[in-house]
C-alpha cells in the first residue's frame, strides 16, 4: 500500500504534464490548420527561406 | 513603447524612428482556391519572395493566408497581386457582423482540456473506491482518495464550469430561466455536498459525476461552437471575395486601386465596363447603362449620363464612367434601407430557443421535486441530514446533462450536413426558426432566376448566324455580349474571334467586312425599327444584304426552380413571389412556376409591409432573397435564406446562405431543419425516459455515486449517438400542416 504514496502523485504529475502539453499546443496555434499540417509533413522540399515562419499570432484575427 | 513606464516627463523627441522595430502589420486574406497541400507552399514561397513581406502562412482548413508585412514597403493590394500571380484569387478578409456568443472556441478549448484531465483522474480514483467496496479497502484509504478527488475537482470545476455559471447568472439577472440554471445548480450542489461528505468521511461523494458532466457538456458546446465558427468563416470568405475595389483617379492624374471601404466622399472613381460601382455617387463623365438588379430587382438596364445618381453595388454594363463619390447621407437609398432593416429586425422580436423553452418547464419541476423529497423525508422522521442528502441526490440525478446535449448535438449534425451541401447556417437559432416556417416568400431576380441575362431559347437562331455574332460579341464585356458567347459555347458552336471590331459604348459593336459593315447592337444603332415592345432591350445583328436577326435575352429561372416550387407546394407550404422587377416579368415567372400569389414592382418598404401583414395573419414566413431591396424583408421574416451571389447586406441579414446554382438547397435546408427539430424532441424524450427511470430511485434514497456516474454518461452518449444518425439519413419533405402549433412565443 505504501507504493500508492508515490504512485498517485506520479500518475497525477504525468496527467498534468499532458495537460500542460495540450495547453502549450493550443497557445502555439498547433490546432489552427489540421488539414494543412498533414500536407506539410509529406512535402519533401526543403523549407523555404522564410515561407514556413508563422506570423505572430498564427492565423488569429489581427488585433 | 519603451520608456512608457518611467516617470519621465520631458517631451519626447520629435520623431524617434525606432531603428530596430519597423512598423509591421498582420492581415488575413481569403484565398478559396487553396485546395491541396502544394498550394500552401506555392503561396508561401510566392509571398516570401515579395519585398516587404516578413512572414506568410497559408491555412488549408480555413482557406486563408495570414501575412505579416511592412506597410512602408508593400500594401495589401500588392500582396493580393502576388497571390494572384501565383495562380490563386485572393481578397482581404472582411469580418462579418458578429452575434454575441456565449463562449468562443478559443475560450472553450482549454476548459475542455482541464475538465477532461480532471474527469479522467477522478474516475481513476473513483473506480478504485468502487472496487474497494468488494475487496478490503479500508475507510482511511477511501477518505484519502476522496480528498485527492476533491483536490482535483474543486479547482477544475471552478475553472471549467465558468461558461455555465456565467450564462446562468446572466439569465437569472434578467429574470429568465435557461438550461444553464439547472446545470449550474446541479454541478454546484454535487460539488458542495461531496466536499461536505468528504470532510465527514462518508460515502455520498459525487466528484466523478460532477466533473464528467462538465466535461461532456463542454465537449458538446465546443463542437457546436466550432461548427458555427466554420460556417461563419466560410461565409466571411464568400463576402470578402465579393467586396468591391474602386479605381481612383487622383487630382494629379495618378490612378490607384483602393478597397471600397476606404473611399471618401468627393473622390473620382473610374468604373470600367462590366465592373460594379463601389460607392454611391454622381456621374461626372460618361454615358452608360447601369444594371440595378441587385438593388431593385429590375432586370432592364437603366441609362445614366452626367449628373445622374448611381448606387453602390450596381453593375456598369455599357461604357466606362467617371463617378464622383458622395457621402452616405440620410437621404440615400442605403441609409433608407438600413432604417428599414432595423425596423424589420424589431418586428421579428426575441426568439426563445427550444432548449430554453424546455428549461422553463423543466427547471421548476425539478426544483419542486427536490423540495418534495426534502419535505417527504423530514415528514417520515429521518432528520435533516438524510433528507438533505437525498434531496441533493435528486437534483444531481436530474441535472439535465442529456437535456443540455439534446439540442446542440442535433444542431452540430444538421449544420455539418448542410455545410457539406453548400448551405451555410450562420444564425445560432436559424435552424430552429427554419423548422417552424409555413409560408415561403421568394424574391425573383437573382433568387428564383440567375440574375444574369441569358439568350432566350424560344427563338430559332441559325447556328451560322450565332457563330458570326458571337465572334463579334466576344470582344465586348457587355452582359448581353457575354451571354451571347455563353449561348454559342453551350450549343457547341465553333466561332472565330473577329478582328478590327469597333465598340461604341452604349450602342454596340461594328466591323467592316469586304461586303460592308456588320453591326451588333441596339435597335437604334443597327437601324432596325422595333414593333414589339419586348424586343426593345434586345440585340440586333445586321449584315449587308441580309435580314436583321434579333436576339432576345431573358433572366432565366434557375434550372430546378419549377421542381423546387412544386415540391414545396406539394408539401403544403404557401409560396409567394415579391419582386421589385416589372410586373409583367414577374407575372411570366410566376406563371411558369405555377405560383398564384405574386406581386411585381414592390419597393423595399412594401416588401417589409407584406411580411408584417403575413405575420399578423398568423403565418410563419421564410424569406428567400438576394437584393439590397430584400434586406428589410430578410430581417423581418421569421427565417431567411440568401444565395451566395447576394448583396452583402442581404447576406448579413440572412440566417443561412446557400451556394451554387440549385434552388433545391432551400428544400434541403427545410428538410434538415425540420428533421433536426424532430430529433431534438426525440432526444428530449430519451432524456426524460432516463429521468423517469432514475428519479424514483433518487427520491427513495438509493442513488449511489456509482449509479449517478453510469446514468449520466449513458444518457449523454445515447443522445449524442441519436443525433449523429442525422448525417447519413435519407430525408423527405414531410407535409407542413401539422406544424401550426409551433408558433413563435
pLDDT digits (tens, 9 = 90+) for B165-178: 998 999 889 888 77
Give the strands of the sheet with B268-271, arranged side by side: B255-259, B245-249, B268-271, B321-325, B281-285, B309-310
Shortest distance between the Cα of A5 and any Cα of chain B, in A, equals 11
How far is residue B641 from each of residues B353, B415, B616, B650, measured CA to CA in Å? Answer: 19, 14, 21, 9
Dihedral of alpha carbons B193, B197, B203, B205, sign: positive
Per-residue pLDDT, averaged over B398-402, amounts to: 76
Higher pLDDT, B243 or B188: B188
CA atoms within 13 A on the CB side of A21: 7
How much is the pLDDT for B745? 34
Please tell me the predicted confidence (pLDDT) of residue B20: 54
Question: What tens digit of pLDDT does each residue of B457-473 get?
Answer: 666 777 788 888 888 88
Whether the per-residue pLDDT at B741 is higher than 50: the answer is: no
Q: What is the pLDDT of residue B332?
A: 62
Nearest chain A residue to B60, by CA = A36
CB atoms B44 and A51 under 8 Å: yes
- How large is the average pLDDT for residues B611-626? 90
Do residue A54 and residue B55 have CB atoms under 8 angstroms apart?
yes
Host H or E run for residue B218: helix B207-242
Contact B59 A54 (CB under 8 A): no
Which range of A57-61, B37-41, B132-136, B158-162 scores highest in mean pLDDT? It is B158-162
Distance separating alpha carbons of residues B463 and B71, to the nearest angstrom: 55
* Intervals of chain A under pLDDT 50: 50-63
Contact B121 A12 (CB under 8 A): yes
All residues of chain A having their beta carbon less than 8 Å from the beta carbon of residue B114 are 19
Cβ–Cβ contact A1 with B under 8 A = yes
Mean pLDDT of chain B: 81
CB B616 within 8 A of CB B439: no
Q: Is residue B8 scored above 60 in pLDDT?
A: no
Grid coordinates representing B53? 513581406
* Predicted structure pTM score: 0.78
More confident residue, B152 or B97: B152
DSSP characters for B67-122?
EEE-TTT--HHHHHHHHHHTT---EE--PPPPPP-SS-HHHHHHHHHHHHHHHHHH
> Would you list the domain boundaries of chain B?
25-93, 245-334, 423-450+557-671, 459-551
In CATH, the number for domain B423-450+557-671 is: 3.40.50.1000
CA B495 to chain CA centroid, Å, is 42
Question: Tens of pLDDT along B53-72?
Answer: 888 888 888 888 889 888 88
Quick one: pLDDT at residue B652?
A: 80
The minimal CB distance from A59 to the residues B25, B45, B66 is found for: B66
Phi, psi of B25 (to 5 degrees): -125, 145
Is the pLDDT at B47 greater than 70? The verdict is yes
- Out of B37, B120, B141, the one facing A42 most closely (by C-beta) is B37
> What CATH number has the domain spanning B245-334?
2.70.150.10
* Contact at CB, A59 and B64, closer than 8 angstroms: yes
pLDDT of the residue at B49: 87
Question: B581 an active-site residue?
Answer: no
Lookup: cell for B719: 443522445
**Of B723 and B703, more confident:** B723
* pLDDT at residue B534 in the model: 59
pLDDT-based confidence at residue B90 (cuts at 50, 70, 90): confident
Q: Do A51 and B62 touch (CB under 8 A)?
A: no
Chain B residues within an 8 Å CB radius of A50:
48, 54-55
Instruction: Determine the pLDDT at residue B672.
Output: 92
What is the rounded distance in angstroms from the CA atom of residue B201 to the CA atom of residue B146? 8
Q: Say yes or no: A9 contacts chain B, CB-CB below 8 A.
A: no
Q: Which CATH number fits domain B459-551: 3.40.1110.10, 3.40.1160.10, 3.90.420.10, 3.40.50.720?
A: 3.40.1110.10
pLDDT in tens, B253-304: 888 877 777 778 888 888 887 788 888 888 988 888 888 877 776 767 788 8
Contact check, Cβ <8 Å, B48/A16: no
Cell numbers at B169, concatenated = 447568472
- Per-residue pLDDT of B322-371, as tens digits, reads 888 886 555 566 667 777 777 777 766 667 778 888 888 888 888 888 89
Contact A40 B57 (CB under 8 A): no
Element at B542 (helix H, strand E): strand B539-542
pLDDT at B159: 94
Radius of gyration of chain A from its Cα atoms, rounded to whole angstroms: 19
| Greater model confidence, B19 or B542 | B542
Q: What share of chain B has pLDDT > 90, as a percent?
A: 9
Looking at beta carbons, which residues of chain A come within 8 Å of B117?
Answer: 15-16, 18-19
Closest residue in chain B to residue A49, using alpha carbons only: B48
Residues 6+ away with beta carbon under 8 Å from B225 = B101, B103, B104, B105, B108
Contacts of B138 in chain A (CB under 8 A): none
Spatial distance between the Cα atoms of B402 and B220, rounded to a whole number of angstroms: 10
List of chain A residues whose C-beta atoms are within 8 Å of the C-beta of residue B62: 32-33, 59
Q: What is the pLDDT of residue B579?
A: 87
Residue of A nearest to B148 (CA): A8
Q: What's the average model confidence in pLDDT over B529-550?
A: 73
Q: Which of B248-262, B314-328, B412-426 has the highest mean pLDDT?
A: B412-426
**Range from B13-27, B233-247, B532-546 carrying the lowest mean pLDDT:** B13-27
Amino acid B111: pLDDT: 94
- Give me A19's grid cell: 495537460
How far, in whole angstroms, is CA B98 from its chain's centroid? 10
> What is the helix (H) or strand (E) element at residue B508, kind and residue range?
strand B508-513
Q: Which residue of B has its CA nearest to A59?
A: B66
Q: What pLDDT does B347 receive? A: 67
In this structure, are residues B656 and B423 in contact, taking their beta carbons and an 8 Å threshold? Answer: yes
Strand partners of residue B245: B259
User: Looking up cell 449517438, which residue turns up?
Assistant: B721
At a CB cut-off of 8 Å and minimum separation 6, what does B35 contact?
A: none
B100 or B251, which is more confident?
B251
What is the dotted CATH code of the domain comprising B25-93? 3.30.70.100
Q: Which of B224, B443, B626, B630 is catalytic?
A: B443
Amino acid at each position: 500500500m505504501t507504493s500508492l504514496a508515490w504512485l498517485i502523485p506520479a500518475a497525477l504529475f504525468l496527467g498534468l504534464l499532458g495537460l500542460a502539453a495540450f495547453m502549450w499546443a493550443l497557445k502555439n496555434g498547433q490546432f489552427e490548420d489540421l488539414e494543412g499540417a498533414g500536407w506539410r509533413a509529406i512535402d519533401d522540399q526543403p523549407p523555404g527561406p522564410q515561407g514556413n515562419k508563422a506570423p505572430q499570432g498564427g492565423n488569429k484575427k489581427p488585433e | 513603447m519603451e520608456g512608457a513606464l518611467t516617470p519621465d516627463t520631458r517631451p519626447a523627441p520629435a520623431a524617434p524612428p525606432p531603428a530596430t522595430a519597423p512598423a509591421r502589420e498582420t492581415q488575413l486574406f481569403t484565398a478559396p482556391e487553396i485546395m491541396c497541400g502544394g498550394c500552401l507552399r506555392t503561396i508561401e514561397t510566392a509571398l516570401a519572395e515579395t519585398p516587404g513581406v516578413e512572414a506568410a502562412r497559408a491555412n488549408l482548413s480555413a482557406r486563408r493566408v495570414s501575412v505579416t508585412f511592412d506597410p512602408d514597403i508593400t500594401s495589401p493590394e500588392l500582396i493580393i497581386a502576388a497571390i494572384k500571380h501565383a495562380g490563386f484569387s485572393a481578397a482581404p478578409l472582411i469580418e462579418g457582423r458578429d452575434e454575441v456568443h456565449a463562449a468562443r472556441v478559443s475560450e472553450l478549448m482549454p476548459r475542455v482540456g482541464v475538465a477532461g484531465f480532471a474527469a479522467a483522474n477522478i474516475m481513476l480514483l473513483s473506480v478504485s473506491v468502487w472496487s474497494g467496496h468488494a475487496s478490503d479497502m479500508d475507510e482511511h484509504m477511501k477518505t484519502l482518495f476522496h480528498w485527492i478527488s476533491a483536490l482535483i475537482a474543486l479547482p477544475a470545476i471552478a475553472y471549467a464550469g465558468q461558461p455555465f455559471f456565467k450564462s446562468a447568472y446572466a439569465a437569472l439577472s434578467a429574470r429568465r430561466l435557461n438550461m444553464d440554471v439547472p446545470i449550474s445548480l446541479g454541478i454546484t450542489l454535487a460539488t458542495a455536498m461531496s466536499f461536505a461528505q468528504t470532510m465527514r468521511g462518508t460515502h455520498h461523494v459525487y466528484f466523478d459525476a460532477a466533473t464528467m458532466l462538465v466535461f461532456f457538456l463542454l465537449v458538446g458546446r465546443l463542437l457546436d461552437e466550432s461548427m458555427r465558427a466554420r460556417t461563419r468563416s466560410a461565409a466571411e470568405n464568400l463576402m470578402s471575395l465579393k467586396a468591391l475595389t474602386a479605381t481612383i483617379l487622383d487630382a494629379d492624374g495618378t490612378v490607384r486601386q483602393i478597397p471600397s471601404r476606404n473611399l471618401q466622399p468627393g473622390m473620382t472613381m473610374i468604373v470600367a465596363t462590366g465592373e460594379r460601382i463601389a460607392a454611391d455617387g454622381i456621374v461626372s463623365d460618361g454615358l452608360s447603362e447601369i444594371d440595378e438588379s441587385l438593388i431593385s430587382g429590375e432586370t432592364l438596364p437603366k441609362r445614366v449620363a452626367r449628373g445622374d445618381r448611381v448606387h453602390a453595388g450596381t453593375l456598369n454594363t455599357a461604357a466606362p464612367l467617371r463617378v464622383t463619390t458622395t457621402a452616405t447621407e440620410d437621404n440615400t437609398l442605403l441609409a433608407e434601407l438600413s432604417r428599414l432593416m432595423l425596423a424589420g429586425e424589431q418586428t421579428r422580436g426575441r426568439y426563445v430557443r427550444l432548449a430554453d423553452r424546455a428549461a422553463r418547464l423543466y427547471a421548476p419541476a425539478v426544483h419542486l421535486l427536490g423540495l418534495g423529497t426534502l419535505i417527504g423525508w423530514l415528514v417520515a422522521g429521518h432528520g435533516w441530514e438524510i433528507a438533505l442528502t437525498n434531496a441533493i441526490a435528486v437534483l444531481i440525478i436530474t441535472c439535465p446533462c442529456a437535456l443540455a446535449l439534446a439540442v446542440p448535438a442535433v444542431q452540430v449534425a444538421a449544420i455539418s450536413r448542410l455545410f457539406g451541401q453548400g448551405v451555410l447556417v450562420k444564425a445560432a437559432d436559424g435552424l430552429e426558426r427554419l423548422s417552424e416556417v409555413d409560408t415561403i416568400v421568394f424574391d425573383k431576380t437573382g433568387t428564383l432566376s440567375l440574375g444574369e441575362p441569358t439568350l432566350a431559347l424560344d427563338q430559332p437562331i441559325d447556328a451560322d448566324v450565332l457563330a458570326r455574332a458571337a465572334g463579334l460579341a466576344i470582344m465586348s464585356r457587355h452582359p448581353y455580349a457575354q451571354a451571347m458567347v455563353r449561348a454559342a459555347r453551350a450549343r457547341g458552336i465553333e466561332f472565330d474571334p473577329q478582328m478590327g471590331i469597333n465598340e461604341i459604348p452604349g450602342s454596340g459593336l461594328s466591323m467592316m467586312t469586304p461586303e460592308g459593315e456588320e453591326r451588333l447592337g441596339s435597335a437604334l444603332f443597327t437601324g432596325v425599327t422595333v414593333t414589339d415592345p419586348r424586343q426593345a432591350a434586345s440585340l440586333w445583328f445586321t449584315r449587308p444584304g441580309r435580314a436583321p436577326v434579333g436576339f432576345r435575352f431573358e433572366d432565366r429561372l434557375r434550372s430546378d426552380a419549377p421542381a423546387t416550387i412544386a415540391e414545396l407546394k406539394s408539401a403544403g407550404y404557401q409560396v409567394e413571389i415579391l419582386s421589385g422587377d416589372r410586373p409583367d416579368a414577374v407575372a411570366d415567372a410566376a406563371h411558369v412556376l405555377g405560383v398564384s400569389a405574386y406581386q411585381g414592382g414592390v419597393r423595399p418598404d412594401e416588401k417589409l409591409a407584406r411580411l408584417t401583414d403575413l405575420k399578423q395573419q398568423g403565418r410563419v414566413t421564410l424569406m428567400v432573397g438576394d437584393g439590397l431591396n430584400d434586406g428589410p424583408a430578410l430581417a423581418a421574416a421569421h427565417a431567411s435564406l440568401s444565395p451566395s451571389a447576394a448583396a452583402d447586406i442581404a447576406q448579413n441579414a440572412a440566417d443561412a446562405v446557400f451556394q451554387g446554382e440549385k434552388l433545391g438547397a432551400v428544400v434541403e435546408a427545410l428538410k434538415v431543419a425540420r428533421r433536426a427539430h424532430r430529433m431534438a424532441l426525440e432526444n428530449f424524450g430519451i432524456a426524460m425516459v432516463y429521468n423517469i427511470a432514475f428519479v424514483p430511485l433518487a427520491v427513495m434514497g438509493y442513488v449511489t455515486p456509482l449509479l449517478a456516474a453510469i446514468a449520466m454518461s449513458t444518457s449523454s452518449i445515447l443522445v449524442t449517438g441519436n443525433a449523429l444518425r442525422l448525417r447519413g439519413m435519407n430525408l423527405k419533405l414531410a407535409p407542413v400542416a401539422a406544424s401550426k402549433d409551433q408558433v413563435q412565443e
